[in-house]
Structure 1
Amino acid sequence: MARTREALHNGWDKNDSKDAQVILHMLRIGATQRYVDPLAAGINDLQEMSKTHEAISKAKTQTWHRILTHYLPLYFPEIERFAGNSRSDWFLALLERFPTPGSIIAVGREGFTSEAWTLVGRKVSKARLINDIYETACTSIALPVDEDSVAITMFRMVIAQARSLIQQRNEIEQTAHAMLSENRDYQLLRMIPGIGPINALTILAEAGDLRRFNHHRQFLKFCGLDLATCQSGTFRGRTKLSKYGNARLRRTFWMATQVAIRQRDNSFRDKLGRYVAGHPNDPDRRRKAMTALTAKMARVAHAVIKTGTEYRPFLERADTRWKDPSLWSREGATATL
């Protein structure tokens, strides 16, 4: 609208009458976009769950980093190697009860084993793990701070906050799965490698009904995964992603691709191998391959919902035009001979 106003009125200044003229002009020439009302489309609840989950996840990550980079190096640095991933509530529960090595040594080996047994949860070698933590506490170089000091009280407060955020995130994931478990679009998206409950929730919340995109190129443009080239006169810039679409959708497909290439027997991992074949240590080629796979993830999500068919891992192998890259060298050698 700003560019149209400048072209119509030969100036950048604006007022209500000029804005009304610009809006009427754009409606007249058909320069419009479709607006999807979340309430009318029935995705308002999905959007609220998705955005709340993202906000809680960011807060959880910040709290987790604060624990790892500030509190643990001061009060129990050796315990970090038992941390695991940020979804491990048992580690935070153990820290909340025993925030310092002194609190572990004070109860003795048997007392610590008895209390930690229920906190650690289901582990393959639980007795060995608990004994290793106790031995680590006995040789710790942590600051000699009393367990009832104000500093440890603040430490426990941050741990309680992290545990509360984990619980809230789990509740949102359970609610989302219960709400969408009978949704056919949700079921089709879950069949795609790398797309879990939250990724599927974000796609449905941000894109709505994917059937409204007549072609997958429209959906790619909506996600900002289309290619664009800046050019003026004789100047022509590099062709790259436009990134003028929905950033949350673009990030969701990128994260789903990161998960898919680590799984076995799917077309995404297979396509990555073909992209980087012969260049395993080229980071630029791998980055371009990941971008192409992200666009493919978006195309597959659009295709399975629009056609209502389930994901097939190696559909391209059924195409006679596709050839295994491992056979190229053999064909070339045969032709040479």
Structure 2
Amino acid sequence: MRIAIGLDVSSKQTSVSVVAEPQREVDSCTITNDLLGFDKLLKLIHQYSDQDTEQIPEVVFEATGVYSRRLKHFLEIHAVPYTQLNPLQAKHDLSMIKGLHGRKTDRMDALGLSQSQLILNRSKSFVEDPVYMALKDLDRTYQEAVQDLVTNKNRLHRYLQLTFPELEHVTGTTDGIFYWRLVQTFPHPQILLKSRQNFDAFVETLRHLTPYPTSEQRAKSIADKLGKVALTAAPAVSAVPVELEQVQYIAGELIRLSARRKHLIKEMCSLAIPLPELKIFESLPGIGVTSAVTLLAELGDLTRFKKSNQVNAYVGIDLRHYESGDYTASDHISKRGNPYARKILYRVINCMVSSAARSNKPNHIVDYYKKKKQSSSAVGTKKIAIASVSRLIRTLYSLVINNQTYVYRIATKGR
């Protein structure tokens, strides 16, 4: 007799429903999301296990972000197979089964999950190597650092318009450790004018703003520009600490976030080196170390997918088609998958196209991109890039499944 245990996981507790064939609830309870509650769940699983056939209940739950991670980890430690559903799939499955329950409560959701499991007979979830989850956690931290970096750059630009706007045009870029150190040292033209340094001493100060000294020629050029703009600058605030603290603080945050971002990439690389996928991803022209390791972190173990179209759906570039009567809408991607992986893949395509002009390494994905662009009458290239992403996913999936690195001759064979 098949038995299913449905779990509705929330932030502090989990509703449990035990259903036996045919669709009869034999037990229900609520457990806390800690060791005491999880131990109670484990005892419940053992209680309804068949000792003769060694058949254990089918555990099913809906993924609820960080809340279900603890339960998932506990089940994996105790070697309990489970079926984890994404919220969209859970909602779809329950809506297809009429008459299960009409009310929306945690207990009824758990009951619906267990009853639908006995009807739909869902397969067990693929358990990835823990290194993939560790890589994903590191990448999410990396993506947060990148987002914080962008936010703080915008803030620095806004505050500099009040203290020293001309500083943005001195170095030729508003990015990098040297520029941020320069902002920290001279956030206001009055500080520069009151420094009372001769030109040579000023040049030496600029040269040693970073751990890696800049060239004397560049330092002289920047010193000359700084001296000129300081005399003509018209800031909106006075050179008092209360006005300059925020500028110096944000510049310091940018330096810290930049170092943090590099450190995270090193950590991810050290974790990913034993994995064969890293070398496979890097073998494609236009994919660097950062793109390869972040893409690997977001895609995870590709062998858990049965075909490349499933990877498309996971990323969220699977096409949605709609037609009604005489009306047919243009196809568009679902955008219901992993947004981080989708963003990385889109940027990889742009990097491949731009690097193809500078290198002599052929790439069949770039060939496809250029061919579509030449034959398209549209002004934009976003749809072409998304189509190229699908081609890239198919290539990566095939290479990983066959454990091969990229070879242009093999990729274009039969074309």
Query: With structure 1 as the length reference, what TM-score do the two structures score?
Result: 0.81
- Check conservation: 1:76, 1:101, Cα contact below 8 A: yes
Match of 1:149 in 2: 241
Residue 98 (structure 2) pairs with residue 8 (structure 1): yes
Match of 2:159 in 1: 71
**Closer, same or farther in 2 for the Cα pair 1:143/1:21, shift >3 Å?**
closer
**Closer, same or farther in 2 for the Cα pair 1:34/1:247, shift >3 Å?**
farther
Query: With structure 2 as the length reference, what TM-score do the two structures score?
Result: 0.67
Which of 196, 199, 213 is 1:109 aligned to? 199
For the residues of structure 1 that align with 2:236 and 2:308, how far apart are their CA atoms? 61
- Check conservation: 1:105, 1:134, Cα contact below 8 A: no
**Closer, same or farther in 2 for the Cα pair 1:279/1:79, shift >3 Å?**
farther
Deviation at 1:225, TM superposition (A): 1.8
Deviation at 1:63, TM superposition (A): 0.4
Q: Secondary structure at the match of 2:293?
A: helix
**Closer, same or farther in 2 for the Cα pair 1:138/1:154, shift >3 Å?**
closer
Which of 252, 256, 264 is 1:172 aligned to? 264
**Closer, same or farther in 2 for the Cα pair 1:132/1:271, shift >3 Å?**
farther
Deviation at 1:12, TM superposition (A): 4.5
Match of 1:335 in 2: none
Residue 289 (structure 2) pairs with residue 203 (structure 1): no
- Check conservation: 2:160, 2:247, Cα contact below 8 A: no
Residue 401 (structure 2) pairs with residue 312 (structure 1): no
For the residues of structure 1 that align with 2:368 and 2:264, how far apart are their CA atoms? 34
- Check conservation: 2:135, 2:272, Cα contact below 8 A: no
Q: Which amino acid aligns with 2:150?
A: T
For the residues of structure 2 that align with 1:302 and 1:166, how far apart are their CA atoms? 32
After TM superposition, the structure 1 = structure 2 runs for residues 142-291 of structure 1, keeping only pairs within 5 Å, are 142-143=234-235, 147-231=239-323, 236-264=328-356, 265-277=362-374, 282-284=378-380, 286-291=381-386
Match of 2:141 in 1: 52
- What are structure 2's unaligned runs of at least 5 residues? 1-89, 357-361
- Structure 1, 216-225 or 262-271: larger mean CA deviation: 262-271
For the residues of structure 2 that align with 1:221 and 1:66, how far apart are their CA atoms? 36
Deviation at 1:211, TM superposition (A): 1.4
Calculate the aligned-residue CA RMSD, in Å.
2.9
- Check conservation: 2:319, 2:333, Cα contact below 8 A: yes
For the residues of structure 1 that align with 2:293 and 2:409, how far apart are their CA atoms? 25
Deviation at 1:207, TM superposition (A): 2.6
Larger radius of gyration between Structure 1 and Structure 2? 2
Residue 388 (structure 2) pairs with residue 293 (structure 1): yes
**Hey, which of these two has a bigger chunk of strand by percent?**
2
Deviations 1:186-218 (A, max 9, x none): 121122234333333333323321112222122
- Check conservation: 2:135, 2:297, Cα contact below 8 A: yes
- Check conservation: 1:193, 1:256, Cα contact below 8 A: no
**Closer, same or farther in 2 for the Cα pair 1:261/1:132, shift >3 Å?**
farther
Match of 1:93 in 2: 181
Q: Which amino acid aligns with 1:159?
A: A
Deviation at 1:42, TM superposition (A): 3.0
For the residues of structure 2 that align with 1:123 and 1:270, how far apart are their CA atoms? 41
For the residues of structure 2 that align with 1:244 and 1:8, how far apart are their CA atoms? 25
Match of 1:328 in 2: none
Equivalences, count: 315
For the residues of structure 2 that align with 1:215 and 1:293, how far apart are their CA atoms? 17
**Closer, same or farther in 2 for the Cα pair 1:64/1:31, shift >3 Å?**
farther
For the residues of structure 2 that align with 1:85 and 1:131, how far apart are their CA atoms? 16
Query: Identity of counterpart residues, as a percentage?
Result: 19
- Check conservation: 2:162, 2:235, Cα contact below 8 A: yes
Q: Which has the higher contact order (CA 8 A, sep 6+)?
A: 1
For the residues of structure 2 that align with 1:94 and 1:33, how far apart are their CA atoms? 58
Match of 2:113 in 1: 23
